[in-house]
């Protein structure tokens, strides 16, 4: 991981880069997939509709199979916190799986302050978080366009607000879709730990940069975590027919520039 300002960018500074990886990573982690190979032929993961819904559908279509091995987890042993400006993030021990507690606070009155607490399991992920789309302010989108970024952003893949209202004619998928999308980003960003986390993560006015800073601080402190094995078997996706390989949701979609949120 080398950049987090507008999206999660993976790769080596001297080699190939893959941007906007957080939604597909969230889909894999949220659906309980431990082993998967991802093939991509460009510098960005397709944005699809701005959520993880297309990736969830592809995982369900492919199917999930078990492997004869115990699952491994990273168990958080003590609280680790990071503060960046007015953003605060903390990960702490938690008795039951992974929990995300996310709060956003925008000066924009249409978005305002929202909070959401989420205990991760595949059914709740699919129903409550997976369909939440990326969002942004019209003034920021216009600024990114003028700078040559987010050129694929549209009302088809981004929830857009001005100072007075939501601009998407079809409305929101959830009344608090913005904070739910932030939960989606948290799940995808923390998937870069390499193993599922057993802990509770709290984010206040955070984003990709804060998520990765907390994860980096956690992994840097070897007294703060340990690897444990669970009784549940590890899962992976079942091979699919060659005709569907490399195509998410049965279609190829254009990738889009750095994420707005």
Per the residue annotation, which of 23, 181, 208, 212 is the catalytic one? 208
pLDDT, one tens digit per residue, over 14-46 is 777 888 899 999 999 999 999 999 999 888 899
Map residue 208 onto helix, strand or coil.
helix
Residues 138, 161: Cα–Cα separation, whole Å: 6
**23 catalytic, yes or no?**
no
Residue 86 has pLDDT above 90, yes or no: yes
Write the CA distances from 216 to 19, 51, 202, integer angstroms: 19, 25, 15
Query: CB within 8 A of 237, min separation 6: which ones?
Result: 33, 35, 36, 59, 62, 63, 64, 65
Quick one: what percent of the chain has pLDDT higher than 90? Answer: 68
Question: What is the pLDDT at residue 3?
Answer: 56
For the segment 242-261, the average pLDDT, to the nearest whole number, is: 35
CB distance 40 to 18 below 8 Å = yes
Residue 13 has pLDDT above 60, yes or no: yes
Quick one: what percent of the chain has pLDDT higher than 70? Answer: 83
Check if CATH label 3.30.1700.10 holds for domain 68-234: yes
Question: What is the pLDDT at residue 2?
Answer: 64
The residues facing 11 across adjacent strands are: 17
For the segment 227-237, the average pLDDT, to the nearest whole number, is: 58
**CA-based torsion, 103, 261, 33, 252: positive or negative:** positive
First to last CA, the chain: 17
């Amino acid at each position: 991981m080398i950049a987090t300002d507008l999206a999660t960018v993976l790769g080596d500074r001297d080699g190939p880069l893959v941007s906007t990886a957080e939604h597909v990573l969230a889909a894999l982690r949220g659906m309980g997939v431990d082993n998967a190979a991802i093939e991509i032929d460009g510098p960005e993961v397709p944005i699809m509709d701005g959520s993880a819904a297309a990736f969830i559908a592809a995982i369900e279509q492919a199917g999930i199979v078990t492997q004869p091995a115990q699952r491994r987890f990273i168990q958080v042993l003590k609280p680790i916190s990071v503060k960046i400006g007015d953003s605060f993030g903390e990960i702490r021990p938690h008795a039951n799986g992974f929990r995300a507690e996310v709060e956003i606070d925008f000066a924009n009155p249409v978005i305002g302050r929202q909070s959401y607490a989420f205990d991760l399991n595949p059914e709740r992920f699919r129903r409550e978080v997976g369909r939440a789309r990326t969002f942004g302010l019209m003034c920021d989108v216009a600024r990114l366009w003028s700078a040559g970024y987010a050129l694929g952003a549209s009302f088809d893949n981004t929830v857009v607000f001005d100072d007075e209202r939501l601009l998407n004619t079809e409305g929101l998928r959830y009344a608090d879709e913005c904070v739910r999308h932030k939960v989606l980003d948290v799940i995808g960003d923390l998937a870069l730990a390499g193993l599922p986390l057993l802990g509770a993560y709290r984010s206040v006015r955070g984003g990709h940069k804060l998520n990765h800073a907390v994860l980096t601080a956690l992994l840097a402190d070897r007294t703060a975590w340990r690897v444990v094995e669970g009784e549940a078997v590890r899962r992976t996706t079942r091979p699919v027919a060659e005709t569907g390989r490399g195509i998410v949701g049965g279609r190829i979609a254009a990738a889009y520039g750095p994420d707005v949120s």
